[in-house]
Amino acid sequence: MEELKQRIMKDGQVLSDSILKVDSFLNHQIDPLLMHKIGQEFAYRFKDEIITKILTVESSGIAVALMTGLELNVPVIFAKKKKATTMGKETYTGKVYSFTRKESVNITVAKKYLSSEDKILIIDDFLATGEAAQGMLQIVEQSGAEIVGVGIVIEKAFQKGGNLLKQKGIKLETLVQINNLSQGQVEM
């Protein structure tokens, strides 16, 4: 997706050999027009699949997932990182080690929003080690729903997440692949 590549080149900040900061359009301030185009692109890439719901994890996946849900006309669920008392006891839970925060969190979805009849598209902002995606897969597996695929805005292809998903036979669509972040440069 050319526009996204150009935006990363213009506004992305390389914080280290493994972390790219895109706070000005995706992770803190959000560009709605770009998010809309990303949603349209995911909808196009998964147009031949039957999808009943989109699953993401709070917080940075929500904007992209919402725009994709708008295009596909399906509900969007975001797994919560802090279980609210209002969620009740009937929940599915996945475990995620956060690459950026260096801590493990449980992510939770209320059982009433996922069932064995659902066909799920997982959407997230970044794919790095694959922890977040695997936490969401655990949730989908517990519900008995079917995984249709995973859509990622920015994949850091030098980390293991992409291979992990492909080894599981999951259809993976990434809009931009980053091959290297060394010496302060983004190599796509």
Residues 6+ apart with CB under 8 A from 39: 64, 66, 67, 68, 69, 70, 71
Q: Are 125 and 64 in contact (CB under 8 A)?
A: yes
Shortest approach of ligand 5GP to residue 145 CB, angstroms?
Answer: 21
Nearest CB to ligand 5GP, comparing residues 101 and 112: 101
Binding site for ligand 5GP (CB under 6 A): 19-22, 27, 60, 99-100, 124-132, 156, 161
Q: Which DSSP letter does residue 134 get?
A: H
Shortest approach of ligand 5GP to residue 46 CB, angstroms?
Answer: 19
Shortest approach of ligand 5GP to residue 66 CB, angstroms?
Answer: 15
Sign, Cα dihedral of 137, 37, 177, 10: negative
Q: Are 152 and 126 in contact (CB under 8 A)?
A: yes
CA distances for 74 relative to 29, 101, 136, angstroms: 25, 31, 18
Shortest approach of ligand 5GP to residue 82 CB, angstroms?
Answer: 16
Nearest CB to ligand 5GP, comparing residues 97 and 113: 97
Q: What is the largest CA-CA distance in the chain?
A: 48
Shortest approach of ligand 5GP to residue 104 CB, angstroms?
Answer: 11
Q: Label residue 106 exposed, middle or buried (CB < 10 Å: 0-12, 13-18, 19+).
A: middle
